[in-house]
A and B are shown apart, each in its own frame.
Chain A
């Protein structure tokens, strides 16, 4: 069956919220934090690498202070653009200026069952379902672990890779792989899928996102896992999530400085270990509610929301922008749409190379399958908003206007017949029922999901590849679960 092509957000326009001086000041703050305060790396492996390259390493506190010249040297090795390979070569993503590739949200742990409506813990099957829906949608350029395979125990990240590849032919970015052992298995699976280490390096079908721990701490398992992928040239996203008031200063600039120091210190490590490792920069800042300490992603004032994208570019790094993380718990409320409505437009104008992620509710935790379609609609609205307008004699239609005369109407015009079909593009909110009345968008979204699940079955990896992957999974299960 025909699958729609990927339709990334493309624009030659740029929106800058930070001026050169602000970018310099932010970078200077990051350099000072790394040089004077330091970042904690609870990993002997990481500490050894830093020590070898002349950073000031305190083995007791595990805090590394990184001199600025070392930072600058290491950061010079980060590639600005590279390729994210896909199972299907047509879906390889070549990073470039003016193009933003989107994916779904992750990593949730609840699913509102599509058949029963029951809210329950997510399973491997749900990961496969989300991957299949992602594979069909043109808004989705690559795939993320949307929910976790909680029925698979410790090796769930590997089972998530397996079920994603069986249901999705785009690039897969794991949100859950942690630790050296799991990551070695992940790399092995990717090598089998790609056929050779050279192919794996030039068109990696897998990448990994790891999170730091604010303020200024790296996660041992995340860092050591990322180093394993770095050996093979597999792209890594380093994401920090500073929360203003609790894990970061309650001022936006201060929070970004903390988040940036976490991302840059980890990126420096990746470059010292394996120069040229592709790394994405990402800061998902949030606010702590000053009365409840609850995580707030969308307060009324979230000015310069995509400043982190500019910070990444200032370092010469590609950026992963965070979008669509509504706090609404319903799939289709005013809140679910209003909080995120401008996200895709703003993040594309800021120039983020990759962007997550549509479809979850309850601050990245709950999957309603129909939300995929509702958010996809908001995505396409942004995509159309960024397209150029056609102005030429045919579209100006001055002759048609003359023929209609003042007070007439255009419905009788052949020009109208030719253009009216395509001039209004129908989103989920303008679907008609048999009586010509607008349908309930959620009901339509559910039908679309049902249709995709019934009709879209992407080709799984070749049988011999799948067999090898199954063997790796069995060995991993045996070793890691025992």
Chain B
């Protein structure tokens, strides 16, 4: 009975059905299934399968994103139900946002989704976020990685400001900084002291794994 529900939960992620994912997560809790096992046996294999289908070319971006949405919908039900010291296993904790003065969302959303699909936990703080907001989120979520996106030559300078703010806050050695966005280059990333740069969402995953010192 419980195995069947894990499979159903997995299927909602693979098929990209967020409403069903939420409903089945609720059903699992009503039936007193362990939320952590639901995550580990239902959602995780589901999102891994989505990642796999994406990397083999069978799935396109919308399938990937909707799969991650389905997982998120179920997590919102299951995570608050975790008891005691229970914590879901993740590759790393990532805080992701677009820098202050820049309203472009989609780039960092894509990177966040790709990371989620690969086992990271991603907290997306949104667009137009000040260095202070980034710092607070990093502290709050004990982030391993921070991702800062900038789409404009005028706002990419804020990526440098963020790194300076991390130094002032004493966080520079505790969190790895990834930067990205159309005008950003590998060279610029190095110049401002970022730890990683990727030109698209797929290569961002490799960089994140490398930064976590985990196998990609």
Chain A residues engaging chain B, CB cutoff 8 angstroms: 407-409, 411-414, 416-417, 420-421, 435-436
Q: How far is the CA of A416 from the CA of B105 in the complex (A)?
A: 17
Closest 6 CB pairs of A and B: A417-B62, A411-B65, A436-B202, A416-B62, A409-B106, A412-B65
Chain B residues engaging chain A, CB cutoff 8 angstroms: 16, 60-63, 65-66, 69, 103, 105-106, 109-110, 127, 200, 202-203
B residues near A411, Cβ cutoff 8 Å: 61-62, 65-66, 106, 109-110
A residues near B16, Cβ cutoff 8 Å: 414, 417
Max chain B C-beta neighbours (<10 A), residue from A408, A411, A435: A411
B residues near A409, Cβ cutoff 8 Å: 105-106, 109
Q: How far is the CA of A409 from the CA of B63 in the complex (A)?
A: 14
Q: How far is the CA of A409 from the CA of B113 in the complex (A)?
A: 13
- Contacting pair B203 A435 (CB below 8 A): yes
- Contacting pair A435 B202 (CB below 8 A): yes
A residues near B60, Cβ cutoff 8 Å: 417, 420-421
A residues near B110, Cβ cutoff 8 Å: 411
- Contacting pair B66 A417 (CB below 8 A): yes
| B interface: dominant SS | helix
Shortest beta-carbon distance from B97 to chain A in Å? 15
- Known contacts A436-B200, A436-B203; 13 additional CB pairs below 8 A are A407-B103, A409-B105, A409-B109, A411-B61, A411-B65, A412-B62, A412-B66, A414-B62, A417-B16, A420-B60, A420-B61, A421-B60, A435-B202
Max chain A C-beta neighbours (<10 A), residue from B61, B62, B106, B202: B62
Shortest beta-carbon distance from B96 to chain A in Å? 14
Q: How far is the CA of A412 from the CA of B62 in the complex (A)?
A: 6
17 cross-chain CB contacts under 8 A? A407-B103, A408-B105, A409-B106, A409-B109, A411-B65, A411-B106, A411-B110, A412-B65, A414-B16, A414-B62, A416-B62, A417-B60, A417-B63, A420-B60, A420-B61, A420-B62, A435-B202
Shortest beta-carbon distance from B104 to chain A in Å? 10
Q: How far is the CA of A416 from the CA of B65 in the complex (A)?
A: 11
- Contacting pair B103 A414 (CB below 8 A): no
Shortest beta-carbon distance from B204 to chain A in Å? 11
Shortest beta-carbon distance from B72 to chain A in Å? 10
B residues near A412, Cβ cutoff 8 Å: 62, 65-66, 69
Shortest beta-carbon distance from B17 to chain A in Å? 9
Query: Which single residue of chain A is at the shortest CB-CB distance from B203?
Result: A435
B residues near A408, Cβ cutoff 8 Å: 105
Query: Which single residue of chain A is at the shortest CB-CB distance from B199?
Result: A437
Q: How far is the CA of A435 from the CA of B60 in the complex (A)?
A: 14
B residues near A416, Cβ cutoff 8 Å: 62
Query: Which single residue of chain A is at the shortest CB-CB distance from B127?
Result: A407
- Contacting pair A413 B109 (CB below 8 A): no
A residues near B109, Cβ cutoff 8 Å: 409, 411
A residues near B106, Cβ cutoff 8 Å: 409, 411
Shortest beta-carbon distance from B93 to chain A in Å? 23
Max chain B C-beta neighbours (<10 A), residue from A413, A417, A421, A436: A417
Q: How far is the CA of A414 from the CA of B19 in the complex (A)?
A: 12
Within 8 Å by CB of B62, from A407, A413, A435, A436, lies A413
Q: How far is the CA of A407 from the CA of B103 in the complex (A)?
A: 8
A residues near B105, Cβ cutoff 8 Å: 407-409
A residues near B127, Cβ cutoff 8 Å: 407
Q: How far is the CA of A121 from the CA of B109 in the complex (A)?
A: 56
Query: Which single residue of chain B is at the shortest CB-CB distance from A414?
Result: B66
B residues near A421, Cβ cutoff 8 Å: 60
Q: How far is the CA of A414 from the CA of B66 in the complex (A)?
A: 8
Shortest beta-carbon distance from B73 to chain A in Å? 11
